[in-house]
Amino acid sequence: MKKFLSLGKQPIANAFITPDEGQDEFFYNLKVGFDKETKLVSHMDFVDPPLMFNDSYVYHTSSSKTMIKHFEETAKMIQERFGPNRILEIGSNDGTFLRHFGIAHGMGIEPCENFAESTRQMGFMIYSEFWSNKLSVEIVGRHGRFYTIYSANCICHIPNIKETLEAVYFALDENGIFIFEDPSLLEMLERNSYDQIYDEHAHIFSITALNNLLKEAGMEIFSIDKTQVHGGSNRVYAQKEGGPHPHDGTLELELEQESLAGLNEVKTYTAFAKRVRNSKTKLLELLHDIKDGGNKIVSYGATSKSTSVFNYCGIGTDLIDYIVDTTPDKQGKLSPGVHIPVVSPEEGFDDSVDYAFLGAWNYLDEITKKESEFLRRGGQFITHVPEVRVLRGEPICQP
Ligand code: DWN
């Protein structure tokens, strides 16, 4: 594994704390590397999953209209295209996807007990454990194999990718399909969105790496969709080697595109690391200039991504007064590491705000629609994706 980037000392990205919890806060050194053999980009040292995913986990998939709509459309597409009579979701969070399948047809794996319990209340059978070979064997023993296994923004969270895919293979019917989506490495490199890298994202997947890893686990990719969510994601359709679904040519296209973009070469990653360091310098310069001009800056969306940016750049309450976020479990707390207060938009997104840093830049459309009044009165958004800049006036394009 060749190390190419260091994002410094980082806290648990979603561990929002109360003021007295500050002393015991956990930090680790975030270093990212490239595996020359599999072409996988991963953390050099993984954070222990229970430190991140436990009964205090605060990220709700349903916290944006964009993701609610995305999962409604995804569920409809899967039903129409594959008509599964049963679906297993790995990482079901608050049930935003599963709810589109009847309780007799959907089952979830969710290690965060708070979400497992609330989804059980909806009537679904949820296993509150981490996905593993042991769990896969247990589930197959009780429920048989699945024709469809689905997972969104979860497979890239699991450190042991080899075991993860072996466990999927074991639980999958001979003719079954494994559909999963995660942020795209190519999109991250193109948008310079280094804030996709934080504790929970143990890996940032390229199709090239997934193709290698799935093959090793006895599976093959037969189709890929590119989606715009979470700053550009890949939805991969895989089956057991030699399975019934015809290949549609998208795999070859993506492999070629990734190869042309240099994703198989270490030098691409060293160049990216340089752009990341430049982005940090520019963001600090911009924020200092704005602040020195007597303006009030807040951050919009207390995201995992903003934890990563703020801790990497050393941005605290000297620059950002507070963060506004709609999630009740984050409000009234301090952001991880740099301890910026989080308040509700009703409390904090008022006429006193001059600039808002887009911690949730991936929802630019949704946010600018919602905050048209802020823009109308001269308020401005700041982003670092794809480059550090102030977004002036309308129309604002999605990065
Ligand atoms: O993989 C992961 C992705 C899918 O979600 C997880 N590891 C954790 C999480 O990452 P994130 O925190 O960067 O995700 P989001 O979806 O960018 O977070 C958006 C945050 O912004 C939420 O806390 C809700 C908030 N928000 C808001 O306050 N007002 C969002 C919108 C759209 C808004 O209008």
Shared domain for 337 and 274, answered yes or no, is yes
Ligand 1 centre and the CA of 177: distance in Å? 28
* pLDDT tens per residue across span 181-233: 999 999 999 999 999 999 999 999 999 999 999 999 999 999 999 999 999 99
pLDDT higher than threshold 90 for residue 398: no
| Residue 360 vs residue 393, higher pLDDT | 360
Average of per-residue pLDDT across 36-50: 98
pLDDT bin (cut points 50, 70, 90) of residue 364 is very high
Looking at the structure, do residues 259 and 271 belong to the same domain, yes or no? no
Query: Does ligand 1 lie within 6 Å of residue 202's CB atom?
Result: no
In a domain? residue 185: yes
Radius of gyration of the chain (CA): 21
Answer yes or no: is the C-beta of 370 below 6 A from any ligand 1 atom.
yes
What's the confidence (pLDDT) of residue 269?
98
323 touches ligand 1 (CB under 6 Å): no
DSSP string, 264-283: TSHHHHHHHHHHHHHHHHHH
Considering the domain architecture, whether residues 271 and 259 belong to the same structural domain is answered as no
Q: At what angle do helices 207-216 and 161-171 cross, to 10 degrees?
A: 60
- Residue 397 clears pLDDT 60, i.e. is over it: no
> Which of 110, 233, 306, 363 is the pocket-test mutation for ligand 1 (most atoms within 8 Å of CB)?
363
**CA quadruple 283, 288, 291, 292: dihedral sign:** negative
For residue 313, the domain's CATH number is 3.40.50.720
**What is the rounded CA–CA span in Å between residue 91 and residue 177?**
17
| Residue owning tokens 């807040």 | 298
Using a pLDDT cut of 90, give the percent of the chain over it.
96
How many Å lie between the centroid of ligand 1 and the Cα of residue 304? 7
Q: Once rounded to an integer, what is the mean pLDDT over residues 18-39?
A: 93
Asked whether residue 206 falls in the same domain as residue 124, the answer is: yes
Q: Is 367 near ligand 1, meaning CB less than 6 Å away?
A: yes
Tokens 């997972």, located at residue: 151
Q: Is 326 in the pocket of ligand 1 (CB under 6 A)?
A: yes
- pLDDT tens-digit profile of 239-277? 999 999 999 999 999 999 999 999 999 999 999 999 999
Closest CA to 209 of 173, 155, 171, 247: 155
Tokens of 84: 């599964």
At 138, is the pLDDT very low, low, confident or very high (cuts 50, 70, 90)? Answer: very high
**Number of domains composing the chain:** 2
**287-345 residue pLDDT tens:** 999 999 999 999 999 999 999 999 999 999 999 999 999 999 999 999 999 999 999 99
- Cβ of 366 less than 6 Å from ligand 1: yes
Residue nearest to atom 12 of ligand 1 (CA): 303
Domain presence at residue 334:
yes
Residues with Cβ within 8 Å of 290's Cβ and at least 6 positions away in sequence, in order, are 297, 354, 355, 382, 390
Residue 15 lies in a domain: yes
Neighbours of 215 (CB within 10 A): 14
Average pLDDT, the chain: 96
pLDDT in tens, 93-130: 999 999 999 999 999 999 999 999 999 999 999 999 99
Mutation probe of ligand 1 site: the residue of 63, 306, 358 with most atoms within 8 A of C-beta: 63
Answer yes or no: is 140 within a domain.
Answer: yes
Q: Domain range spanning residue 293?
A: 2-31+267-391
How is 159-225 classified by DSSP, letter by letter? S-HHHHHHHHHHHEEEEEEEEEEEEBHHHHHHHT-GGG-STT-SEEB-HHHHHHHHHHTTEEEEEEE
Of ligand 1's atoms, which has the minimum distance to the CA of residue 200?
7
Closest among 114, 290, 89, 96 to 171, alpha carbons compared: 89
- The Cα 302–Cα 394 span in angstroms is 24
What's the CA-to-centroid distance between 96 and ligand 1, angstroms?
14
CB of 183 shorter than 6 A to ligand 1: no
- Ligand 1 pocket, 181 CB below 6 A? no
Considering the chain, what percentage of its residues have pLDDT values greater than 70?
A: 98
Question: In this structure, are 250 and 282 located in the same domain?
Answer: no
Question: Cβ(344) to ligand 1 under 6 A?
Answer: no
Residues 97 and 139 grouped into a single domain: yes
